[in-house]
Amino acid sequence: MKFLYNIFLYFLVAANTQAIVKGQVERQPYQIPLPSKVNDQLGLRYASLIMDIYQEQKFDSILLFQQSATNSGTFENLYLPSLPKVIISSHGSFCFKDFYNSEILVIFTLHSGLDWELMERAAYVLNYMRQTRILMLAENIQQEELLIAQLLKVFELYKMTNVFLTLAQFQEDEERTSKYLMLYPYPEYQWRNWLAAQSPYYTEHWRNFGNKSLKTFVEVTSSRAFIFKDSQGNFKFSGYVANMILLFAQLYNASLSMLDPQNPGNKSHYLVVNEMVENQLLDFAMGLTPLYQISPRNTSDAYEVNEVLMMIPLAKQLTMQELYAALLSGQFFASLLMATLVFSMVHSIMEYLQYGLWHRLDLMISNRILPGILGLSFPCRSRPRTSLKMVYMLLGFFGLYITTLFAANNKSLFTRPPLHADIRTFDDLSRSSLKYLTSQQDFNELKEFLEPIRKSVQVIDNRTIVVEHRTKLNTSYAYSITTTSFDILWRKQKFSCYFTFHTPSAMVIHPLMPWCYNLQYNSPYKEALNYLMHRIHAAGLEHIWRSQVFYDQLRSKEIHLSKPPNSRGVEVLGFMHLFGIWMIAIVGFTSSTIVFIIELWMGRHR
């Protein structure tokens, strides 16, 4: 597995290096001809520059920011290719991405220093696409160094990373000079001179972050980002989400630093981590967030699509008390009582008619009938008549059937105890005594989906306890879980002695939920994350990492393959095993005592 991963990484780095130098090739003849109306030398340079940029990488439209409504100098005759153009002056403002294609070239024209209001308006117009190509055209700037420093601060503030700057100085009847600068945003924002005629105007700076330090933090879900210590006591990361970030830093020459470097093992709920990202405390987190909770423009592409399921313990075996309750049910005793009354009545009537014997108590319960009902031997007349013989035969068959049926059920129930009915729907869960355990944060997020089982929900503040119960497969509760996290627990059950949990198909809390990396507002890392993410999906690395995190958790003893704590082995018979026998004895002795006292009382009053 590691060998295949190294091969993938080699080809990925090679592809990344090839993409970096892709712009350094000989340009072909222009596809857009120069117009004859551009007679001005500087205007000719601008036209040639714009067409070179178009040839390097085509754009679909041009967004032009003018410093004022009145053009100045060669900007009057600024040639733009025959493409759609949007011209914004001092009062225009809208979000360009809401209406148009974002594959554009942005041009700024400056002739009197930096216009802060114009740059602020441009930042708003370029929301969610500030890493697009920007061409700054500045003429006759008196304080060039000040402008260069101010632009550097502006671009860093608004996270603009792809800028080409031209500074031109000219006067009438004098030779015009130009200076070309390229913005390099990593590791720190800086300007570099553009010298080589065959060098690209714009490069994908995100392919090399220059060892820039990026802040990150770990989400609490161990299947996505699992932290453990190796044999030397060093912290290691595993999980398909954490490995994605580690590969991102390795491939694009960045370094990662934890928000709390003294405690790198600290973890938090993804809602807390997302709040850190939105507050600019993190560049991105080792965790995912559901797409429906945040704006998709501030996230990466979907890294995974899964479901939120209800994790239900499988049906358990009946306990000893439940077995005796099933055997000695009210229906069983009612059948015995009804049979005793019927046979006692028939036997008493026949004895009265045939022998003239009459006992009122025998009409309800006869000492000759009850043993026969229970399958025991019973006394009978030495020379009974035919009709009485038939009653005795019928009584014998009835007692034999009752004892055989009771013995068969008793043997089957205690040899192989039956299971409770499986919980397969939300209605089954609401009618059962099983509780759904969740944290307050998860409950607030899934509240509307849990309304059918509101009475079965048990909410606690500490999510760590919920995760611990779920990881240890504690069958006392039901839990909610994503399909990815359940895959780890499914593997644990697969390699253990037997399965203890399942996810019924009718108990899906939230179907088809996309999960993404949450990013800062106008994050410059979105393009790099999306590019790497699609390469990882194409190579199947995500599935390898999912398998790897299970074995890492197993090696670090985060999970165990031993029997669950509630599994029973060989047990010595105790009081609870004979619960039914003791109950019969107690009820029998109590009834006998009550009848004996009644008989004594009746005997004294005769």
Residue 199 in any domain: the answer is yes
Q: What is the DSSP string of 28-70?
A: PPPSSPPPTT--SHHHHHHHHHHHHHHHHS--SEEEEEESSSS
Structure tokens of 534? 């699609």
Give the model's pLDDT for residue 38: 38
Residue 585 in any domain: the answer is no
Final residue of a domain: which of 146, 178, 203?
Answer: 203
Give the model's pLDDT for residue 103: 87
Residue 312 in any domain: the answer is no
Give the model's pLDDT for residue 106: 92
- Looking at the structure, do residues 191 and 47 belong to the same domain, yes or no? yes
Q: How far is CA 424 from CA 420, 477, 505, 506, in A?
A: 12, 15, 8, 7
Give the model's pLDDT for residue 575: 67
Place of tokens 């009354």: 341
Q: Identify the CATH number of the domain in which residue 108 sits.
A: 3.40.50
Give the model's pLDDT for residue 171: 65
Q: Per residue in 354-368, pLDDT tens? A: 777 777 776 777 777
Which residues pair with residue 510 across a beta bridge? 308
Percent of the chain at pLDDT > 90 equals: 20
Final residue of a domain: which of 172, 203, 234?
Answer: 203
Residue 400 in any domain: the answer is yes
Cα 183 to chain centroid, rounded: 39
Cα separation, 532 vs 538, whole angstroms:
10
Q: Which amino acid appears at position 159 of this protein?
A: K
Domain hosting 94: range is: 38-203
Give the model's pLDDT for residue 71: 46
The SS3 of residue 202 is coil
Q: How many domains does the chain have?
A: 2
Q: Per residue in 262-304, pLDDT tens? A: 565 566 777 888 888 988 899 988 888 888 878 888 899 999 9
Residue 159 in any domain: the answer is yes
Please give the radius of gyration of the chain, using alpha carbons only, rounded to the nearest integer.
Answer: 42
Residue 69 in any domain: the answer is yes
Give the model's pLDDT for residue 405: 85
Q: Which ranges of 416-525 does DSSP label H, i.e. alpha helix?
A: 426-431, 440-446, 463-471, 483-494
- Looking at the structure, do residues 47 and 178 belong to the same domain, yes or no? yes
Give the model's pLDDT for residue 291: 85
Residue 258 in any domain: the answer is no
Q: How far is CA 398 from CA 4, 326, 343, 404, in A?
A: 74, 21, 10, 10
- Looking at the structure, do residues 59 and 191 belong to the same domain, yes or no? yes
In degrees and rounded to multiples of 5, residue 511 shows phi and psi of -85, 150
pTM: 0.73
- Looking at the structure, do residues 189 and 57 belong to the same domain, yes or no? yes
3-state secondary structure labels for all residues of 505-537: CCCEEEEEEEEECECCCCCCCHHHHHHHHHHHH
Final residue of a domain: which of 415, 435, 464?
Answer: 415
Give the model's pLDDT for residue 266: 61
Residue 491 in any domain: the answer is no
Low-confidence ranges of the chain (pLDDT < 50): 1, 3-4, 7-11, 13-15, 17-39, 69-74, 77, 173, 565
